[in-house]
Structure 1
Amino acid sequence: MVEFPIDLIQEGLTEDDLDEIGASLANTGIRFELDNGRLILMSPVKAWHADIARRLCNALVAQGRPAYLEQGIRISGRRVRYPDVGVFREEPDLDRSRHDPAAFTLVVEVVSPDSVEEDRLVKPRVYAGAGIPEYWIVDRHPTDRRDASIEFFKLGASGAYERIGQAALSELEAAP
């Protein structure tokens, strides 16, 4: 049983509470984000999800982009999101787990069956509102269970993301 140092059901949690919560959840496999002062607990990722996020991160690094898995974006003191992959403008402070939105050029969410609405509707609005220039959504490939389909979005003049393309993860991995 996990004992929590604070009441996780309460609203009004802040970024300052996350380190204490994270220490309590260490080694449990439970992932979490902070949304408007409420803690959102997320189910552990499946092997496919973890494999795709890792492969995508590696492909971005191979292209010379400083990409990292599950780095926090401090949207506000009461909202912290952890995208599956984040690409930084420059190498981040390696001793931090949460960063300002301006540090990111791209965030990527790998869609799980229980995160479709969050990844397709909620997070794009949050990330666009924070001014992050690019957002990618990754889904299962329709014909190859070891591959993934990636949709590319760029922040438009309206302040919302606009779809600019699509590719398979295997295509990104094969790119020079």
Structure 2
Amino acid sequence: MHFNAEAASQNKKSIQCYICLQYNHVAKYCKTKQQICAKYGDNHSIEQCTAVNGAVKCNNCKGKHLATANDCPNLLEQEKRMLNLINQYSSTSSPTVTTPLLHDSNEFPSLPNMYQRQQGFLHNDILDELINLLTSKMDKIIAETTKRLFKSLQQKIKKIGQTISSVETLINDDNYNIIIIILGW
């Protein structure tokens, strides 16, 4: 069984929203809530238009034609873009691929020699030592800072405890004096 294959026919006509009269979307996906007049571009439907009979203005290009006219420069530009995209993606020819030149040092750079590789290893060893040294220094600094913070916190907690006990003493003394006054002693 055999079938003849033929190229798909592409729709070259731009779509236009009947609400905002812009191209490339339909009313279902339109973000505009108020319908735009196709005759004069105001915020009302064409049935409610009060513009003078000869006064027409395209909402898209501001030309003297209806916004739905087939000769609108914006519509023609949209259709031209669409045709270019169709031609670009439906082309059967594939781009030519150039093969690299075998003797070109940019395409095939030489590999590093043994001395360069040893230098790379030395460089990595120095970096590792430096990282280890910095890490141990940072650990010491963090430990000392933490120790100072705990000491400061302990002092503040001790002061708070002393203040609380002073307040409790004052409250107890005041209660004792109030009881003596009430009992009349």
Task: State the TM-score bracket (shorter-chain normalisation).
Answer: under 0.3
Q: Name the structure, 1 or 2, with higher relative contact order (CA <8 Å, separation 6+).
A: 1
Provide the TM-score with structure 2 as the length reference: 0.14
Which structure: larger Rg? 2
Provide the TM-score with structure 1 as the length reference: 0.15
